[in-house]
Amino acid sequence: MKRSHKFIIAFLVLTVIFSFLTAAVTAFQLDKIRAASNEGVLRAISAVKQICPDISDTEIAKILNGKEYDKSLVDSLKAYGISLDDDWAVYQNRVIAQKVVTLNAVLCGAICLVLCTLFLLYRHKQRAEARRLTEYVERINKKEYDLLMEENGEDEMSLLRNEIYKTTVMLKEQRDNSQKDKESLKDSLSDISHQLRTPLTSILVMVDNILDNDNMPPEIRYEFLRDIRRSATSMSFYVQSILTLSRLEVNSVKMKSKEESLLGIINECIQNTEVLSELKGVTVTAQCDENLNLVCDFKWLSEALTNIVKNCVEHTPCGGEVCLSAQKTKLYVKITICDNGEGITPQDLPHIFERYYKGKNSSDESIGIGLALAKVIIEKSGGIISVYSTVGKGTTFDIRFFPNVNR
């Protein structure tokens, strides 16, 4: 319950208690006044009957309940020390009335004191909380985000404290993400510089040789030009891959998901790696129900699976086989890519999805970005990927897509 609501309820309860106490005291004292007045009236009637025995009870009742009286009696009573203007005809009633006034005043003072005490305590807590929040915000302004919010309740100040905490967490995440982005950019620039330095140096050397040697044999010139083209193509592929991976990691790529045929995606991957598999002498096969569909982005998922298939083909010897299969269970859709190639060593297995990582069996042309890109695309598509491998027997990539995963 909110603190302000508790205060209001306490105020209402005390007011009700005060009202009942006041009413009870007043009723009790008024009953005393009634009894004292009746006793005075009975004494007056007794005296009247002694003086005038012929007067009837009916006449006395009419006199008591009538509205007319001899106003000169008011002045006559003053001779006996009784003033009806500012005093009671029955002296005992005056004492009782004074007690009623005194008790009511005491009750009013007590209830006011209690309410003022509650209000001051409430205000003190509110001001203390406001000071704590002010200090908290000041620390946030100094970029001190590692703070904890304690004693969260449901009152207004606690709600404000919770919102400040949420804002603090958001600012901390933005700071961390910004720092990670800076570090990622720094690492990316360093990696790009490192990866491009060798081919660029090679290109410059070959271009200088061509320019400086006018008598260079045509076959050597052609060989140099072919090497330059290969290096330039490798650089272009590398730059494109790193830019694609960076765009995916910073969520600047919006995937257009819709229901797609998994068999169509698998056939696209096989077609993309057809030239490589023919050169390597590796057979790529598919096992998939033509009616099996998946909500995904056809282009991006095809690229992810193509990178995995390409990796499998590159590490499978001539005469080997790479198999793609897909099946649907009650919980997920699973895509499996397996080969009977050389496998991955236990030391390399935990790192194969890391950017720029190159295992012991990697080729010289490998830049260590294909599997990292595939993993990012699959996770952005709402899936998870795992890998199992045995050296000398082959590798299996297990990809699962859960329908209820938010993309």
Q: Report d(CA 29, CA 96) in Å as an integer.
A: 6
Which residues have CB under 8 Å from 146's CB, separation 6+?
172
CATH 3.40.50.1460 for domain 174-249, yes or no, is no
pLDDT for 33 equals 72
**Helix 156-212 and helix 218-249, axial crossing angle in degrees, nearest 10:** 180
10-residue mean pLDDT profile of the chain (407 residues): values are 62 75 75 72 77 79 68 63 59 69 77 80 80 76 62 61 73 73 67 72 86 86 85 75 70 79 92 89 92 90 91 91 92 93 88 75 66 88 91 92 66
Spatial contact of 249 and 177, defined as CB atoms under 8 Å apart: no
Residue 402 DSSP class: -
Q: Report d(CA 328, CA 401) in Å as an integer.
A: 10
pLDDT for 76 equals 65
Q: Report d(CA 397, CA 83) in Å as an integer.
A: 111
Domain ranges of the chain: 3-141, 174-249, 258-401
pLDDT for 81 equals 58
Which residues have CB under 8 Å from 324's CB, separation 6+?
266, 269, 270, 284, 285, 286, 287, 288, 305, 309, 335, 336, 337
| Buried/exposed 190-202: b ≥16 CB within 10 Å, e otherwise | ebeeebbeebeee
3-state secondary structure of 238: helix
Cα distances (angstroms) measured from residue 244 to each of 134, 247, 250: 44, 5, 10
Q: What is the largest CA-CA distance in the chain?
A: 166
Number of CB atoms found within 10 A of residue 95's CB? 13
Which residues have CB under 8 Å from 379's CB, separation 6+?
385
What superfamily does domain 258-401 belong to in CATH? Histidine kinase-like ATPase, C-terminal domain (3.30.565.10)
Residue 342 DSSP class: S
